[in-house]
Amino acid sequence: PTFSTLLVAVLSAHDAPKVALVFIGTVFQMVLVVSKTTRLLDPALLEAAQTLGAKPRQLITNVVLPGILPNLYNDLRILLGWAWTWLVIAELVGVKSGLTGFLDTQGTFRNFDRVFPIIILIGITGFVTDQILAWFHGVFFPWEGKNGPVSRAVASAVTWPVRTIIAGARRITAPSDLT
């Protein structure tokens, strides 16, 4: 948070400090995660491709990228969570617009009935974004499994209340109940 105040003072443009803080907060983790994921690639695959005469460019496009993309995609999903965290921090410091400006104003006047729904909205938005990306993982990498067991279980648990409400509404509005 102290660093974000410095960014607001130096950049002082409307959204530039936010973008800079999210970038700085995630780029270093991204470099570490991408290097770790790349190191997990089986060296035997590289040796086999080199034995078959693959050039360096072919190694990258035909062996390395296809080998790391599914894991890299999951890593980027995790980094999106980091980016959400840094975005909330960036909006809380020095900028009085957007959702966090509203939260700050309402919190000052102790209007917590307006604060908690916004906090829940931010959490739900992050969760839904992650679940959409999990679904796309199944589309982009079908050999890896559809969404993964955790995503399916979590999505089922979260959507259960909504499905229950919809099922109850269908029973109430059934034609036999209206006559």
In tens, the pLDDT along 51-68 reads 999 899 999 988 898 889
Going by the DSSP 8-state scheme, the letter that residue 64 receives in this structure is: I
Question: Is the pLDDT at 149 greater than 50, yes or no?
Answer: no
What span, in angstroms and rounded, lies between the C-alpha atoms of 164 and 176?
Answer: 20
- Whether the per-residue pLDDT at 176 is higher than 60: the answer is no
Q: Which pLDDT band holds residue 1 (cuts at 50, 70, 90)?
A: low
Contact call for residues 39 and 46 (beta carbons, < 8 A): no
Please give the DSSP secondary-structure letter assigned to residue 15.
S
- Average the pLDDT over 125-131 and give the result: 89
pLDDT at 84: 86
Predicted local distance difference test score (pLDDT) of residue 144: 74
- pLDDT band of residue 120 (cuts 50, 70, 90) is confident
Q: Is 42 helix (H, G, I), strand (E, B) or coil?
A: coil
Amino acid in the structure at residue 97: S
Of the chain, the percentage scoring pLDDT greater than 70 comes to 70
The residue that leads in pLDDT, 35 or 141, is 35
Q: Does position 21 have pLDDT exceeding 90, yes or no?
A: no
* Helix, strand and coil percent figures for the chain, each rounded to 5: 85, 0, 15
Between 43 and 8, the more confident residue is 43
Lowest pLDDT segment from 45-59, 93-107, 155-169: 155-169
